[in-house]
Every structure is written in C-alpha cells, then in structure tokens.
Copies of this chain bind each other. A is one copy, B any other.
Amino acid sequence: MKFCSECAHPVSLQIPADDTRQRFVCGNCGTIHYQNPKMVVGSLPVWERDGEVRVLLCKRAIEPRLGYWTLPAGFMENDETTADAARRETEEEAGANIELHELFSLVNVPHVHQVHLFYRATLLDLDYQAGIESLEVEMFTEAEIPWQDIAFPTVEFTLRAFFSDLKKIKEGSGAFALHTEDIRRRMI
C-alpha cells in the first residue's frame, strides 16, 4: 500500500494512538488502513456407493499450484455466509450439486494471513464438471488420492482428518467432529 484510498495522499507505516501495531496511515486525511486475515472457504464433497467412499477433487487451472489437486474452495466474499461461500465455490470450481453439512475443519495459516474453512458435503449426483479455474474434476477413494500432488497443506490436513474420522466411524466408534490446526510451513 502506497497511497490513501480515500484521498490519494501517500501513506506511511505508523503506530496510531491507542494501538500497538504498525498500520498504513494517511499523512493528509488521517485514515488508518487496517489489513486483516482473509477466509478461504470450501467443501469436502463425498460420494458413497456400495460401501466405497470417494471424495471430489479439482485439478487447478490457475496459479498458485496450477496442475495440483485441491478441494473446491476460494476467498469468501462480502455479503455471504461461510456456508454460502462453500456452496458457491463448489459450484464455480466443480459444477457440483451438493448438500452441505457441518463445518469440518478450520485451519489457520498465519504467515499468509488466511484462515481456511471446509464444510463436509454430500455429492447429490455425478453431473459435475470443471469450472473455469479447474482443469479436471475427479472422484478418488482414499487409496487413489494423489497425496504427492495435493495443492495445499490445509487440503491435505482436511482429507486426512476426514478419512481418519471415517475409519473410526466404520469401526463403530466416534463421529465427525470439527478439526482445527495451525499450519506455519510453506503453503506452496
């Protein structure tokens, strides 16, 4: 940030009165330009037939991590809820019809100023198709997941937590629960 978005005067980094952090402050109109983390919200769409569980992944058509696999997700927009964002991103990136369930994972990625949220979802049919930001959309069993080619650690964390919960549920103990994690290593 170099200039004030209110008056076009140059901004400088200062600690405002009654604050403890450096902010971009306008030298002319005094506006303090706060910068805050963004939410990335998506879904974990599941298809189960004859006891076989598959999850839907999208191969990214855009940077970062072009060509790597991800759950459908993206930046939450103003005027929507987290569930709205999960549904919209699933529609945009995978053209998938889903029923959204509860929030399944919340992963902090503090060094990139992001919090990633994933909702568990049921895929309602197989009429999915790659959106403009995806090269392919495909379903994978746990064994088929291209673990070496997963785009982001938040997606890997969420997939592993899902299959771990699923194993416990199939063994007769436990239920899906919210999983939280902090990831401080490189995102890409």
Contact = CB atoms under 8 A, between A and B. Distances in A.
Interface of A: 1-8, 11, 18, 21, 33-39, 75-84, 102-103, 106, 108, 110-111, 113, 115, 132, 178, 180, 182
A108 B81 contact: yes
Contact of A82 (B1, B8, B115, B178): B115
Given A5-B4, A8-B3, A82 B106 contact: yes
B3 A6 contact: yes
Q: Which of A21, A79, A81, A178 gathers most chain B CB within 10 Å? A: A81
- Copy number in the complex reads 2
Contact of A103 (B1, B36, B76, B180): B180
B7 A5 contact: no
Contacts of A83: 108, 182
A34 B40 CA distance: 13
Those 7 A-B pairs whose CB atoms lie nearest each other, nearest first:
A81-B108, A3-B8, A8-B8, A78-B113, A1-B5, A36-B38, A5-B5
Contact of A80 (B5, B76, B110): B110
B33 A78 contact: no
Nearest to A62: B18
Nearest to A3: B8
Contacts of A39: 36-37, 39, 115
